[in-house]
Amino acid sequence: MQGRRQFLGWLAAGAAASGLAACSNAEAKTYPVRFSDAEWKKRLTAEQYYILRQKGTEVPGSSPLLHEKRKGVFVCAADGNVLYSSATKYDSKTGWPSFWDVVPGSIGKSIDFETGYPRTEVHCIKCGGHLGHVFDDGPKPTGKRYCMNGDALVFSPT
């Protein structure tokens, strides 16, 4: 029993270290749109700052974008980078705006271990802002579910 506990402890420590390495690599990247922490706080609402700059998560079902059905695009709330088309939005029944595809070249990905298991974090390729996570349980044709925080996005109708 002791050996099993020790092994599980090592396993957990390794996962935590991997998570820290993944986070530090993503955070160390330099993005074209950069501001000081104080400037981000001025530019963003408190909720946007919490999500985009501190990797927070909004309360499920709280975003008005969850029910947005008009034609248009969803852009990064921090820098205006076009991320998703309304043509790829769908109701995933998760409580967050979800998309089955992204605008090519608009996002970056990294692995996080915030929940104790690996997830693929999605961030804006221009500012590095945290947007949400992508999962492999979405609809065809991609099979992806880009589960985004609505407060990290702004909708622009076309």
Cα–chain-centroid distance for residue 123? 5
Which of 76, 124, 127, 147 is catalytic? The answer is 147
Is 147 assigned a catalytic role? yes
Segment 2-42, tens digit of pLDDT: 444 443 343 443 444 444 333 333 455 789 999 999 999 99
Mean pLDDT of the chain, nearest integer? 87
Which tokens belong to 48? Answer: 């946007």
Is the CB of residue 90 less than 8 Å from the CB of residue 99? yes
The CATH H-level (homologous superfamily) assignment of domain 2-157 is Peptide methionine sulfoxide reductase. (2.170.150.20)
Which among 139, 57, 129 is positioned nearest to 101, based on CA atoms?
Answer: 139
Contacts 24+ apart (CB under 8 A), 59-64: 60/94, 60/95, 60/96, 61/95, 62/95, 62/150, 63/96, 63/97, 63/149, 63/150, 63/151, 64/150
Segments making up each domain of the chain, as ranges = 2-157
Give the type of residue at 21.
A
Segment 121-146, tens digit of pLDDT: 999 999 999 999 999 999 999 999 99
What letter does residue 80 receive in the DSSP assignment?
A: -
pTM for the complete prediction?
0.82
Cβ-based burial of 73 (10 A; exposed 0-12, middle 13-18, buried ≥19): middle
Q: What confidence score (pLDDT) does residue 28 get?
A: 56
